[in-house]
Structure 1
Amino acid sequence: MQDTAVKSGLAALCAVSGMAALGLTDNFVPFITERGSLWQFHFLRGLMAVAILMVLAALGFGVLRPRRFWAVAGRSLFQAGAMLIYFGCLAFLPIGVVVAGLFTSPLFVLMISALFQGKRVGPWRWGAVAVGFAGALMVIRPDPSDLDPVAFLPLLAGALYAIGAVATRAWCEGESTMVMTAGFFGMLAVMGGIGVLVLPGAEMAGAEGFVSRTWGPLDGAMWFWIAVQAVGSLIGIGFLVRGYQLGEAGHVAIFEYSLLIFASFWAYILWDQEVPPLAFSGMALIALAGAVIALRSDEPSTLRAPEAVE
């Protein structure tokens, strides 16, 4: 009994540590958006992350050979697409809004499971979906008189991530954490490379050009911040995976919502981005909805590392 309690505490600590790492490193993206390119960023960061994983595999910490290549590639396509939108939005929207949109992923997972997989969903979880989307609207605060579709892009990121989470269960059973993490970062590198080669590369000054630029200057500062992103993401995901190995998935998933706190805290410290009371209440509703879904589901979805639940 005591050993179980200790493991549960360590699992929670690992999950919170992972979210703390991700919440901090994601706030460094504005150092890249001013001069860099979304496509360049993902191309280089993806290559760095895969290279690190290859070194770890060579040292005996795992294998990088998938059992079903196309299943891993298909799952990675949705997850990487979500991250393209997520990081692209960081150039235009406050990080709290973007993270809250991504955290609607469990709500979409529940809807996909019920509508397309025939799984039974009770009134508690349907109610959580309604509460969660109400919270998302409170965070986004759409103005009917001046409706900006960009504000809804984080919700699209959440939907794509949800499809990837469902695909993790449906397509990738038995695949290792390292394989799917490498597939995720590898797909981001491929998408980034395609963007660099195919897009016209319209030049715009400042953060507004982050998505439209294809390449930016690669000086020491740019290399540093991209490397920080690559290492920080791997550390964050590693802590989260360890949390799911130690604890019960439904309880560990709840601690992922601490990312809302860490991301908003560092956004305030680093960029003076304040969270309005209405948006903060919306984040609380999203976290509450996710907690209800996690506790009342046999297979709760995770945010950054759905491959962790094995």
Structure 2
Amino acid sequence: MSSSRSFFPRGRPLSAPLQGAVYMIAAAFLFAVMNGAIRLLGDGTASEGAGGMHPFQIAFFRNVFALGIMLPWLARHGRVGLKTERLKTHFWRAAFGLSAMLCWFSAVAYLPLAEAVALNFTVPFFATAGAALVLGEVVRARRWTATAIGFLGVVIIVRPGFVEITPVMALPVVAAGFMAVSVLFVKSLSRSEAPATVVLYMNLLLTPLSLVPALFVWRWPTLPELGLGLFIGACAVTAHIFFTRAFARSDASAIMPFDYARLPFVAVIGFLLFDEVPDVWTWVGAAVIAGAAIYIAQREARVARERPTLRAGAESVQGRP
């Protein structure tokens, strides 16, 4: 997870902000590809007649393969990273992260991909409210207004009264709420824990925790399903690394707009693989949500410059599935 290495050429290096943008776009692409693979695994494409795999079991395979890929990194940080006096907080952070993952994987399995991604853009609004109500951070009128406008974007996408509202449509928003709580735990942990410790415990705890719900829906996977599960885990790890490096290269307010490239990427994947075409209201609502979230990121960056604090932005992505 270190950001010391780079795939950029040394001869004519890009500026740090541009590198951050490239890393963020790469992360957005890999997250979109991962979501497409989750849908493929869930709809039975790789099951050889066994039927689609339940999202809870997909989440377990995502975690176990991601943990396997990260073991060398975890081994290097293990001795130092395991030192903590806040094990209970690490556990709750992992529990909320798993809840977000289960809701999100279910949303990807049952909703149009673009709609699920657009609704999941609401994470910053829940995080803003939680930071004010739980952590006691000062959130002034401008950010509250942006938060309200962001949730208006959700209403535009869902259109209550014009289309039938189903419980499944709430899954990406509920996942966003759990992700935001996970981010709040990261902010709290960052006040006393090293970044390596935060990442280490999240990955060590997620795999056994995700096995519990997976056992209730378990069936033995086929070899193609195991291969797709490995692909999902590799996409997740690589996307998180790129996301973290993006934060290391540039200010959050400068690179967060590029995170919303997930929507066009996933729209293309949904069209090519599943014949899904997002309606105009999904795009309009997503634009409202993204605009409000970008404004919140800019305001938070300005506050951070005026009152420096420990930076947890790079690690907060671990709340994302």
TM-score w.r.t. length of structure 2: 0.81
Report the Cα distance in structure 2 between the residues aligned to 1:108 and 1:166, rounded to whole angstroms.
10
| 2:53 counterpart residue number | 36
Report the Cα distance in structure 2 between the residues aligned to 1:61 and 1:266, rounded to whole angstroms.
38
CA contact (8 A) 2:82 2:201 kept: no
The within-5 A match list for 1:90-105 is 90-105=108-123
| 1:169 counterpart residue number | 187
The partner residue of 1:156 within 174, 195, 218 is 174
Corresponding pairs, count: 291
CA contact (8 A) 2:36 2:266 kept: yes
| 2:225 counterpart residue number | 222
Report the Cα distance in structure 2 between the residues aligned to 1:157 and 1:136, rounded to whole angstroms.
14
1:80 to 2:98 alignment: yes
| 2:272 counterpart residue number | 269
Report the Cα distance in structure 2 between the residues aligned to 1:272 and 1:230, rounded to whole angstroms.
25
CA contact (8 A) 1:140 1:152 kept: no
- Change in Cα spacing, 1:129 to 1:194, as seen in structure 2 (3 Å) is same
Report the Cα offset of residue 239 of structure 1.
Answer: 0.3
Unaligned segments of structure 2, at least 5 residues: 1-11, 45-51, 305-310
| 2:308 counterpart residue number | none
Report the Cα distance in structure 1 between the residues aligned to 2:92 and 2:248, rounded to whole angstroms.
25
- Shifted more, 58-67 versus 116-125: the winner is 58-67
Report the Cα distance in structure 2 between the residues aligned to 1:238 and 1:62, rounded to whole angstroms.
21
CA RMSD of superposed structures (Å): 2.8
| 1:147 counterpart residue number | 165
- Change in Cα spacing, 1:167 to 1:186, as seen in structure 2 (3 Å) is same
| 1:203 counterpart residue number | none
- Change in Cα spacing, 1:303 to 1:23, as seen in structure 2 (3 Å) is farther
| 1:306 counterpart residue number | 317
1:27 to 2:36 alignment: yes
The alignment partner of 1:27 has SS state of helix
Unaligned segments of structure 1, at least 5 residues: 200-213
The partner residue of 1:11 within 20, 35, 48 is 20
The alignment partner of 2:37 has SS state of coil
Q: Which amino acid aligns with 1:282?
A: G
1:135 to 2:153 alignment: yes
Report the Cα distance in structure 1 between the residues aligned to 2:211 and 2:174, rounded to whole angstroms.
22
TM-score w.r.t. length of structure 1: 0.84
Q: Which amino acid aligns with 1:281?
A: V
Report the Cα distance in structure 2 between the residues aligned to 1:180 and 1:75, rounded to whole angstroms.
9
Q: Which amino acid aligns with 1:252?
A: I
Report the Cα distance in structure 2 between the residues aligned to 1:191 and 1:239, rounded to whole angstroms.
25
Report the Cα distance in structure 2 between the residues aligned to 1:5 and 1:149, rounded to whole angstroms.
46
Please list the CA deviations of residues 168-223 of structure 1 after superposition, one character each: whole Å capped at 9, or x if unmatched: 111243545554344334444233311133x3xxxxxxxxxxxxxx1234222101
Report the Cα distance in structure 2 between the residues aligned to 1:215 and 1:287, rounded to whole angstroms.
37
Report the Cα distance in structure 1 between the residues aligned to 2:314 and 2:117, rounded to whole angstroms.
10
CA contact (8 A) 2:190 2:312 kept: no
The partner residue of 2:62 within 38, 41, 45 is 45
Please list the CA deviations of residues 220-246 of structure 1 after superposition, one character each: whole Å capped at 9, or x if unmatched: 210111001000000100001011111
| 1:54 counterpart residue number | 71
